[in-house]
Amino acid sequence: MGNLDFSRAQYVERQKVNKKLLSISAIIGIIIILLAILWLKMPQTFAIQSGSSQIVIDAESGRILSSYNKDMRLEMASTTKIATTIVAIENAPLDKSVEITDEMEGIEGSSIYLRKGEIWKLEDLLYGLMLQSGNDAATAVAIATAGSVDAFVDMMNALAKRLSLKNTLFDNPHGLHSDRHYTSAYDLALITAYALKNPTFARIVSSKSHDVEGNDTLSARTFYNKNKLLSSFEGANGVKTGYTTDSGRCFVGAAKRGGMQLVSVVINCPDMWERTKYLLSDAFEKYDYVKIGDSSKNLDEFMLKGENIALRLDTDIYYPIKDGEREDFRYVFEPLESYPDSLNAGDTVGTLNVFDGNRLIFTRKVITINEIKHKGALLSLMNLVGDWQINSIDGEIEQIFGVVRSGFPQRRG
């Protein structure tokens, strides 16, 4: 009987211990759930390693929305092919026939396996270049466009100079290692923003696949895009991956929401997909795309030489602005080189250059909405300049002040 009482006491004590353990487990479980909820609500951050860089810009204005080491010179691997593609598009017909030669075959690294004697359309090679990152395709495109790789590289560097890129030098069309081949996140974003304005480039980099028709020298095939962002991020529409052991993982991303086209760049970034999604999501969340220039309203209206002149932009101007942010812009009217004796309503009278500080962010045509009969009135526009002050509240423009400052006519040398 004593043993039975002892066993029963052990059982009761064990039950008490079990209840305590269950209570502790439940408390721990609740704490874990609460911590998980708090973590999800916290802004995501990523460790940025030494020798890496990143940036997000608005493609239309070039405004920098976020950045880290944006001007650091780094190798960019196959993201080089963004420049290769836009240079080819601008300098050679897409339907050009390209016969594959010895020097286009067997290029180191990623390949679309070109073979001597095959005849390709240049456009198909561009798809092979951008979707499957063929280094042989890059070489073929370069030679077909410029006659030689060296001549094509000169064209790439001419583009960099034209875009006023300060930290970019090209030494090849594919991105394989070279000490004389580098860019910065900012420069690469500017190249991409420029390229995306070309409809052919935009079509190629937003394609998830491309079918190549066969011919007597070439078997039909399909290229599939390596850009995972196109299938995993709302609004994604480009552009290019890259990797070498020297550059690390690189990715130029692009996405468009609510009319705002963003470009992101990460260089030497092991978690390039998640980092890119975070950077783009953060920019879309923080910035509103607001209209700062309305083509349906008069840019200005004034009397010159006895004539009433009303000017409007030919298209709207949008700009990314944070809630509560104030932006100050300067605009300068550039007249035409010469004018006819009179202008009709709707005719172009010049262009409006809009500056953020000293940086040109927009150029738009300016039209007259009324007839201008006297040439002297047009000449008086030569020194028209002004200032805009813009406040954004909950995504709406609160104030726009257009302060015109003009002089009578003093020709700028």
> 175 or 326: which carries more pLDDT confidence?
175
| Angle of CA points 74, 76, 78, to nearest 5° | 170
Distance CA 184, CA 166 (A): 9
- Residue 397 phi/psi, 5-degree rounding, is -75, 125
Q: Which tens digits make up the pLDDT trace of 15-49?
A: 665 666 666 666 666 666 655 444 444 444 445 55
**294-405 and 53-288 share a CATH fold:** no
| Mean pLDDT confidence for 64-92 | 98
Residues with catalytic roles? 78, 81, 133
- Go through 227-261 and write b for each residue having 16 or more CB atoms within 10 A of its CB, e for each that does not: bbbbeebeebbbbbbbbbeebbbbbbbbbbbeebb
| Mean pLDDT confidence for 1-23 | 60
Please state, for a pLDDT cut of 70, what percent of the chain lies above it. 78
List residues bridging with 291 in a β-sheet.
Answer: 318
Which of 154-163, 295-304, 344-353 shows the lowest mean pLDDT across its residues?
A: 295-304
pLDDT at 113 (0 to 100): 97
* Average pLDDT taken over every residue of the chain: 86
| Mean pLDDT confidence for 228-240 | 97
pLDDT at 25 (0 to 100): 64
pLDDT at 46 (0 to 100): 47
In this structure, what token pair is assigned to residue 263? 């470009």
> 65 or 331: which carries more pLDDT confidence?
65
pLDDT at 297 (0 to 100): 86
| Mean pLDDT confidence for 207-213 | 98
- CA R_g for the chain: 29
| Mean pLDDT confidence for 234-252 | 97
List residues bridging with 249 in a β-sheet.
Answer: 243
Q: Which tens digits make up the pLDDT trace of 378-395?
A: 666 665 666 666 666 665
Question: Which CATH architecture group holds 294-405?
Answer: Sandwich (2.60)
In this structure, what token pair is assigned to residue 63? 């405004």
Task: Just give the CATH number of 53-288.
Answer: 3.40.710.10
Quote the longest CA-to-CA distance of the chain: 124
pLDDT of 408 > 60? The answer is no
Q: How far is residue 205 CA from its own chain's centroid?
A: 12
pLDDT at 39 (0 to 100): 42
> 49 or 205: which carries more pLDDT confidence?
205
Assign 3-state DSSP to the chain and report helix, strand, coil percentages, each to 5.
35, 30, 35
> 238 or 374: which carries more pLDDT confidence?
238
What is the residue extent of each domain of the chain? 53-288, 294-405
Q: What is the pTM of this model?
A: 0.82
pLDDT of 335 > 90? The answer is no
Distance CA 190, CA 263 (A): 9
